[in-house]
Chains A and B, each alone.
Chain A
Amino acid sequence: MLEILTRIADETGIYSAMNSPWGWPTAESIHFLGLCLLIGTVGVFDLRMLGLGKGINYADLHKLVKFGVAGYFLNVVTGIMFLTSAPDQYIYNPAFQTKILFMLLAGLNMLFFYATTSGQVKSTSAQAIVSIRARGIAVVSLLSWAVIIICGRLITYFRPPYHWCFWC
């Protein structure tokens, strides 16, 4: 696994770009901006489903989600750049593993929302409250993204076992 990721980084030029003086902080800045876009759109829509911003039409606010998708795309691209440039910092890292788990949960939650609830939410009047299921989906989404952000920050504070594990 490590070799495959390292080879991808070498052959695509990601490794040299990320190890240039500006590479890593620039990718991190883009990663954070993508995250802000995601929270400002998907997070705001989740908060709307939980009752904030009464009077804003759900279908209108849902148009923000396309910017969230753009933010998610930025996060995936920069995330792959981090992972392939320093795979041992990520794949053995419990914070990264938890982050991926909650990204999966957020993704499944989103699929469940679009399969079962989005049509009903979009046709709900701006003054009405959405169903309990929709509010549950919003809570799961907000909690998942909170855990993803926290774990993302914690990744930095882990070092691969060969730095500290004398018995490994």
Chain B
Amino acid sequence: MAVVVGINFAIALRLLGWIPQFHLNSVKSFYRVHWLGVYAVFLSGAGLLLAYPAKALTNPVFYLKFITLTIGLILADWLQRKITDSSIADLSPKKIKAVAATSIMLWIITITAGRFLAYTHSVLLASRFF
């Protein structure tokens, strides 16, 4: 997760103009590492969900994390496409900054929801209902 969020943070900081404007085309190779991180997140997340399905599925915070994670990844994919075909230059600076700020917000919510998951569940095992 640190790899996924970290790389998204770094690209967002570049888009916000908080670090020097190096050529965005060069960040393509970092996206490969990013998607490797996403696979690791998906596999470990699926393992945790399979191990304690009731714990996650009965907790609204899980859905918040799932939604923000999904939107964050869709945004990362959209940004990667824009960077790869250089069409990001067609976007207005205001829109680019809004996308970068949204990305940072989504990842902050994802991380926070992920940590609160461990403290907010009310059900541990489905056997409680039987």
Q: Is B111 in contact with A56, judged by CB distance below 8 angstroms?
A: no
**Is A113 among interface residues, defined by CB-CB distance under 8 A?**
no
Stretch at the interface among A40-48, A80-88, A104-112: A40-48
Interface size class of A (residues with CB under 8 A): 20 to 34
- The interface residues of chain B lying within 8 Å CB-to-CB of A61 are 19, 22
Q: Is A25 in contact with B33, judged by CB distance below 8 angstroms?
A: no
Where chain B touches its partner, the secondary structure class is: helix
Stretch at the interface among B23-31, B45-53, B71-79, B84-92: B23-31
- The interface residues of chain A lying within 8 Å CB-to-CB of B33 are 47, 52
Partner of B9 from the list A28, A37, A55 (CB cut-off 8 Å) is A37
Closest chain-B Cβ to A33's Cβ sits at a distance in Å of: 6
Closest chain-A Cβ to B130's Cβ sits at a distance in Å of: 28
Partner of A44 from the list B1, B10, B115 (CB cut-off 8 Å) is B10
**Is B116 among interface residues, defined by CB-CB distance under 8 A?**
yes
CA distance A55 to B27 in the complex (A): 9
- The interface residues of chain A lying within 8 Å CB-to-CB of B6 are 36-41, 43-44
- Interface residues on chain B, number (Cβ under 8 Å): 31
Residue of A at shortest CB range from B109?
A29
**Is A73 among interface residues, defined by CB-CB distance under 8 A?**
no
Q: Is B26 in contact with A56, judged by CB distance below 8 angstroms?
A: yes
Q: Is A39 in contact with B3, judged by CB distance below 8 angstroms?
A: yes
Q: A60-B20, A67-B13 are in contact. Are A55 and B25 (CB under 8 A)?
A: yes
Q: Is A36 in contact with B2, judged by CB distance below 8 angstroms?
A: yes
Closest chain-B Cβ to A158's Cβ sits at a distance in Å of: 16
Partner of B27 from the list A36, A53, A126 (CB cut-off 8 Å) is A53
- The interface residues of chain B lying within 8 Å CB-to-CB of A43 are 2-3, 6
Closest chain-A Cβ to B29's Cβ sits at a distance in Å of: 5
CA distance A32 to B1 in the complex (A): 9
Residue of A at shortest CB range from B8?
A40
Q: 15 additional contacts, CB 8 Å, given A36-B5, A39-B3, A61-B19?
A: A25-B120, A32-B2, A38-B6, A39-B6, A40-B2, A40-B8, A43-B2, A44-B6, A52-B33, A53-B29, A55-B25, A56-B26, A57-B20, A57-B22, A61-B22
